[in-house]
Amino acid sequence: MKIFSYILIAIAIGLIIFNLTKIDYSAPFEGDSSVAVISVLAAACAILLILILRTSQRIAKKKK
C-alpha cells in the first residue's frame, strides 16, 4: 500500500505540472484554462486524501 500511494502521489504531481502549463494566466477561468484549473485542484485534493489515508494507517498501526 505504501508503494501504491507513492505512485498515486507521483501521478497527481505529474497531472498538476501538466495542467499548470495549460492555464492561460491572463484569463484563467475561460475556455480550456478553466478545465486545467479544475484539474489542478482535483489533483491537489487527491494528494491530500492520500496523505490523510497514510496518516490514519499510521495511527491505526500504533494503536494495535
- pLDDT class for 13, splitting at 50, 70, 90? very high
pTM of the entire predicted model: 0.86
d(CA 54, CA 48): 10
Supply the range of the domain harboring residue 19: 2-63
Q: What is the pLDDT of residue 34?
A: 94
Domains identified in the chain, total number: 1
pLDDT digit string, tens, across residues 20-44? 999 999 988 898 899 999 999 999 9
> Who's near 9: CB < 8 A, 6+ residues apart?
47, 50, 51
Q: What is the pLDDT of residue 64?
A: 80
Neighbours of 50 (CB within 10 A): 16
- pLDDT class for 7, splitting at 50, 70, 90? very high
Mean pLDDT of 50-62: 95
